[in-house]
Amino acid sequence: MPFAELTRLSPNRDRSPAHEQLGVLFHHSIQPFDETIALMARPESKVSYHCLIAPEGTRCTLVPDAEVAWHAGASEFLGRTRCNDFLLGVAFAGDTYAAPLTAAQIASALEWLAPRWTRHAWTIARLTDHRQVSPGRKDDLNPTEWSRLHAAIVAQFP
């Protein structure tokens, strides 16, 4: 059964140039689902994700895939800087150090990934987390939770 999807567009995005959609950068939001959506709605926060996933699996689109969300900050991946321009930002509501990802969050992430995985011909090498693209500056996801998510993605998209 598909997970519920909401749309609450954040003002914290760039409509051009078009987002390259070369892969995905995973985050955790620290804050609960509704509080994170409220934060993303405030222009002064200067932060957004493309998608936020609640513990029960509900997803909220905050920035359309074709636009640049402000999620990565100073970052580097695939030999490039400015990950906001080419990696879609997906966040799990909550803190992955305080509580593990739920089975519903992982299943919802896989459901969100499926059409994009096929459309863009992504491989697992095109997926990462904030900790890896901003070492020493960011620590999300918890490495144990990144490993769980990574394994689920590899199992779903061999």
CA dihedral 62, 118, 26, 45 (to 10 degrees): -20
Quick one: pLDDT at residue 1?
61
Do residues 105 and 111 make contact, with C-beta atoms less than 8 angstroms apart? no
CATH class of the domain whose range is 5-156: alpha beta
- Cα–Cα dist 109/91, whole Å: 9
Average pLDDT of each block of 10 consecutive residues along the chain (158 residues)?
Answer: 94 96 98 98 98 98 98 96 98 98 98 97 97 96 98 96
Angle at 143 between CA 141 and CA 147, to 5 degrees: 100
Tokens 């491989």, located at residue: 123
Please, what's the largest Cα pairwise distance for the chain?
A: 41
Sign of CA dihedral 153, 120, 4, 41: positive
Tokens of 149: 């998510």
Q: DSSP letter string over 73-110?
A: -S-EETTEE-GGGTEEEEEESS-TTTSPPPHHHHHHHH
Residue 44 burial by Cβ neighbours in a 10 Å radius (0-12, 13-18, 19+): exposed
Q: Is 68 helix (H, G, I), strand (E, B) or coil?
A: strand
pTM across the whole model: 0.97
